Amino acid sequence: MGRALAPILGFDTSGPYCAAALLRDGGVVLSRHRDMARGQAEALMPLLGEMLAEAGLGWSDLGGIGVGVGPGNFTGIRVSVAAARGLALASGVPAVGVSMFEVLRRTQPDPAPDLLSLEAPRGLAYVQPRSGGVPGAARMIAPDTPGEAATLDAAGARHVTGFAARQIGTALGIGWTEAAPAEIAPRIARAAAEILATGALPMRPAPLYVRPADAAPPADPPPLILP
């Protein structure tokens, strides 16, 4: 028999919800998704504690933590990232930041979509091109404005997947598939497990805030994402 894999806890509050999942021996044993427009800061830690208690685990039993880093709601992202950093520091368990672009990519049967799109405020879209499976710089665009879409540097893109894909695909003259991230917390946990299995030392989780191209970049480093 092979060596048992240490449990991985994944969670996210970057949207109007509080989501968490526990991965054990490569399989999801517990998953929770509670819709809430606000109150994630108060709900997250009790939810995580309840899940560990149900599984008969303590914080020191974990092999790693995966956390959603956005893009999404500013306050929600800060809640999860701060929690992951604090838990990692207190327990000595490594924490891995996973973007919602990576969650969307894992939702799709195609292993390497050319262009990923997530819903942003005011009808806008967060988009991220991928070349050879490697994620590029993310942008915020108006889905139906060709001038904005042209700033993506995605001349090689052949297909867009995600939010407002029809509008973006039409603007760029490429194929499209409407989709949304699914099973968010389990996919975050799996991504974290795969990154930790490589033996790479993950960077400290950092919020992924997507701003217009002329804005200053965030001070924190970007999350480590599998190609």
Could you report the per-residue pLDDT of 60-116, keeping only the tens digit for each?
A: 899 999 999 999 999 999 999 999 999 999 999 999 999 999 999 998 876 556 899
The more confident residue out of 124 and 114 is 124
pTM of the model: 0.87
Domain range annotation of the chain: 8-101+181-198, 111-178
Fold topology of 8-101+181-198 = Nucleotidyltransferase; domain 5 (3.30.420)
**pLDDT at residue number 165:** 93
The residue to which tokens 């604090």 are assigned: 86
Residues 144, 153, 175, CA angle at the centre, nearest 5°? 50
